[in-house]
Amino acid sequence: MGLISWYRRRFVFPRRAQGTAKPTVPRALGRALREADAADQSGAAVAPGRHTTELLTTLSEETRRQIALSLQHQRTGLRCADLERETSVALAELPCGWRAEDVRQLFHLALEGVDPQHPTQRWDTEAETCLLLPLAALRALTASERLGFQPQLRTLLTVVNATDDPGTAQDRARTTDELRSLLPPLPADVDALLPFTDPYGAAVRLRLGSTVYQPHTHRLLELCARATEVRPSYEWLGQAGELLGYHTDLRATLRELLAAAVVDGAGPAGFGISCGQLLGALAWAACVSQDAKAITQLRLAASGYARSALDELDAGPAHFVRATLAALAALTGEPGAGQHRRLLADPKPAPLRLARQALTELRDLPAGFDPHALKIPAGPYTAVFETAPTGRVELVFRNEHGKTLAGVPTRVRERHPARYAALRSQLAVLRRVSDRYLGTLNEYWAAGQPVPASRWLAGFQDQPALVPMVTALVWQAELPSGTVLGTAFQPRNSSTWLLRDLEQGLHEIADDTPISLWHPAAGGADRKLAAAWRTALARRRLREQAVPQLAIEDGT
């Protein structure tokens, strides 16, 4: 008989053993227990728990409350040293006149020694017994009174869901439902988004502890759970920017969620697709927030996976890598960012610099990569940077037979996203180089003044991407033998640049030779000469120029 045995241990045996005064106990409880004890000693058949429930029913609410508090004094750190579960169940079902201060004391006793942020206790049947009275008392309070106990409930949720023991699954599910019913409704099911059985989910729980169940964490997780694509919608990016801009405290949580994905021996290695999609959305959130520390954590997290081919990765890390590279590319303004780049316009200098550093580290380029190369292997394909006389630079792919493909091969985009990101990054570099040199050519055209050939050569000879712009123009050199017009020409396997005239004659130029862009006059001999040069360039299929050199007045 649980209540009677508890009464003997609590109030009788200590007095006999120690010779001390009997602890204070309500007279009604003592009288009822003595009568029940006498009935029990008579040997009458009694259903299990009947005496306990009947006795407690005869007592006042205040007496039952005192019994419950006395019981809870023996249950600390979610460990139960007594055997009075039957009594606790009965007390939990009866009104005890609970007040908020009583409930606070019950939780204080149950969670004594438990770290409220990062509890390490394991869930078992003892823990469930320890919570019978505190949770029953909490349910007796009004909704407004229960709001003050959210920290304790979040700590308990952390303990309950910090194990995957199948033997306690049913008890944990029941307790989880009860704890959630006592908390205000939350927008996301964090236990489904971050299951303890998933390496990333477990890492987040160990890192964040009970913060996982904070309302602001839920707001961020709920938003990210809606973005399951590699590139979220334009509307989602706007919502993310608004949330992180208004709730600045969410940025610290964002950093922690990204830091949990870092591969450091104890961190996650392979995680499921749902966690991969969540991490992909967090990558975009980091770029939208332009938080420097979050971008740094994103780089550290993605660096453990980025250089692997996607078919070598689990589905979760593969999605995370693709989303990270796409988000960083949008922040840095690389080609292909599209509408996402528009929302990330005018990034701050610090996050922009960190995003570029991240892409540099994460991108996958061949060993010994030549930064001036215009052809780079990409799996079974060859990536080619095609440059036009106007300065336009495009990235195309050719198959093993040399045929130019209409778009980016799926195999490159899906299996080698880091290599593809590196190619887009290099495309952006070449376009910036081309734009700068286009400005130089316009300066030459506007000034009309010659410069030394050494300066002229220094502008393009080490950058193959600029050569089509230079060779599509007619240059004028002042040689000792006289003025010469010609296009820039470099013989095969030679580092020397020459001028080739209309008759295909080649002219050497010295470092100090004055050279300038030829300005044909609108009429007379220059007009005929300009037409001849247009014909010569047309034979080479050159019909565009970086500056309007041969566009004379009548357009012929």
Averaged pLDDT, 265-290: 85
Q: What is the pLDDT of residues 98-122, one digit of tens each?
A: 999 999 999 999 999 998 888 888 8
Supply the pLDDT for residue 220: 92
Token digits for 369? 């990569």
Task: State the Cα–Cα distance between residues 237 and 270, nearest whole angstrom.
Answer: 27
Q: Is pLDDT above 70 for 552?
A: no
Query: 185 versus 291: which is more confidently predicted?
Result: 291
449-539: CATH, from 2.30.30, 3.30.70, 3.40.50, 2.60.40 = 2.30.30
State whether residue 430 is helix, strand or coil.
Answer: helix
Q: Is pLDDT above 50 for 470?
A: yes
Which among 175, 180, 210 is positioned nearest to 194, based on CA atoms?
210
Burial class (CB in 10 A: 0-12, 13-18, 19+), 85: middle
Contact 60, 141 (CB under 8 A): no
Supply the pLDDT for residue 485: 92
What are the domain boundaries of the chain? 186-362, 375-434, 449-539
Contact 422, 478 (CB under 8 A): no
Residues 6+ apart with CB under 8 A from 507: 477, 479, 484, 486, 498, 499, 500, 501
Burial class (CB in 10 A: 0-12, 13-18, 19+), 77: middle
User: DSSP letter string over 320-378?
Assistant: HHHHHHHHHHHHHT-TT-THHHHHT-S--HHHHHHHHHHHHHH----TT--TT-SEEEE
Residues 6+ apart with CB under 8 A from 187: 218, 219, 222
Q: Is pLDDT above 50 for 21?
A: no
Averaged pLDDT, 188-194: 82
Mean residue pLDDT of the chain comes to 81
Averaged pLDDT, 262-287: 83
Q: Is pLDDT above 60 for 30?
A: no
